[in-house]
Amino acid sequence: MPGQAASSAVSTFPWGRRHLTCSLRAVSARTMANFVELSTKAKVPILGLGTWKSGLGEVREAVKGAIDIGYRHLDCAYVYENEHEVGEAIQEKIQEKAVKREELFIVSKLWPTFMEKHLVRESCQKTLKDLRLDYLDLYVIHFLQALQPGEDLIPKDDKGDTISSKTTFLDTWEAVEELVDEGLVKNIGISNFNHFQIERLLNKPGLKYKPVINQVECHPYLTQEKLIQYCQSKGISATAYSPLGCPNRSGAKPEDPSLLEDPKINEIAAKHKKSAAQASVLWCLGLAALTHVGSSRNRDRTSIPGMVLIRFHIQRHVIVIPKSVTLARIAENFQVFDFKLSDEEMATLLSLNRDWRYYPFHWLKSLEEYPLYAEY
């Protein structure tokens, strides 16, 4: 179990968790200046913690551990069905004065069955209540196709086809803009939009607020160069999801390409092994499992490629939100600010592009707003 791996990494530390937490905070403090500035001038920590598939009973410790390590950006969503536990973890950390609310950047997303205008506010308030917050730093339209409201997250008809709603994302955007005016959210954004759809939104008559972020799948097999360039030219920042190729995704086939096992990515990773000095600091912090000098029992062979895959986005000024519920990996994924990929290595990573999507959204395919028909 991932949760068990996390607690054993901590319990092996001889001076106890409290000391580990303080030391990690000191180590991470120097990395705190790594932000992307949005068009609203809000600053987003470039590295956040993803929480999709972070199960109940494990996400609380993951979020608390992440905050101790130095993460200040959490990526949440109504549909992840764990926001209440994320909220409890945030509150605990605020109450013990490990972090202040204003130091955190909390993202959530509006699910398509709530895209009808009269449901938007209610959905946002449900998320705020679960997360125990007064405001969100960013609220994102999760998918651009509105679906029939109701209990089912993906409503289907008798033939098994997804049932849409007549509401368009342009209608929804007006309701989302109202959330900004009401102070419930500070910034608003989009997810999974292609550039034609973004263009439609930007050209919407009476547009009050522009989206600040487009959150999309992105990694070396799907580099999204054109879409990112387009977004950035319009003042829209990009967030990369599934940066590690989401190895735990449902429906994964053995023949699917694996980023973490890619020989070129591993070759680059091997060149960026932690130095002996860094390794000994991590060892002292009880995190030997994060280094390549730990015992072979503790060594995680997939760990270092993960750092390269995260660093890849940081050097492109793309926000990145790897998910983990394993404390050792959460800590390791944060160790990406003390090395730099060379121009040649970045070029190699970009050359791996094959427009491969781990998430082709089959359930949206028959619907009007299916975004992946366009080249970008």
Ligand X SMILES: NC(=O)c1ccc[n+]([C@@H]2O[C@H](COP(=O)([O-])OP(=O)(O)OC[C@H]3O[C@@H](n4cnc5c(N)ncnc54)[C@H](OP(=O)(O)O)[C@@H]3O)[C@@H](O)[C@H]2O)c1
Least Cα distance to 28 among 79, 76, 58, 71 occurs for 71
CB nearer ligand X, residue 50 or residue 286 = 50
CB nearer ligand X, residue 96 or residue 154 = 154
The one catalytic residue in 71, 78, 80, 370 is: 80
Q: 219 - beta bridge partners?
A: 222
Q: How far is the CB of 263 from ligand X (least distance, A)?
A: 16
319 in Cβ contact with 213 (< 8 Å): yes
Tell me the residue number closest to ligand X, measured at CB.
50
Using CB under 6 A as the criterion, which residues of the chain lie in contact with ligand X when the complex forms? 2, 50-53, 75, 142, 191-192, 215, 241-248, 260, 302-303, 306, 321-326, 329, 332-333
CB nearer ligand X, residue 97 or residue 297 = 297
Q: What does the H/E/C string look like for 240-255?
A: EECCCCCCCCCCCCCC
Q: How far is the CB of 310 from ligand X (least distance, A)?
A: 8
221 catalytic? Reply is no
Spell out a b/e string for 277-303, using b for 16 or more CB atoms within 10 Å of the CB, else e: ebbeebbebbbbbbbebbeeebebeeb
206 in Cβ contact with 170 (< 8 Å): no
Other Cβ atoms within 10 Å of 58 Cβ, number: 19
Q: How far is the CB of 306 from ligand X (least distance, A)?
A: 3
Q: How far is the CB of 140 from ligand X (least distance, A)?
A: 7
For tokens 């086809």, the residue is: 161
CB nearer ligand X, residue 83 or residue 345 = 83
Least Cα distance to 187 among 137, 235, 229 occurs for 137
Q: Which residues are catalytic?
A: 80
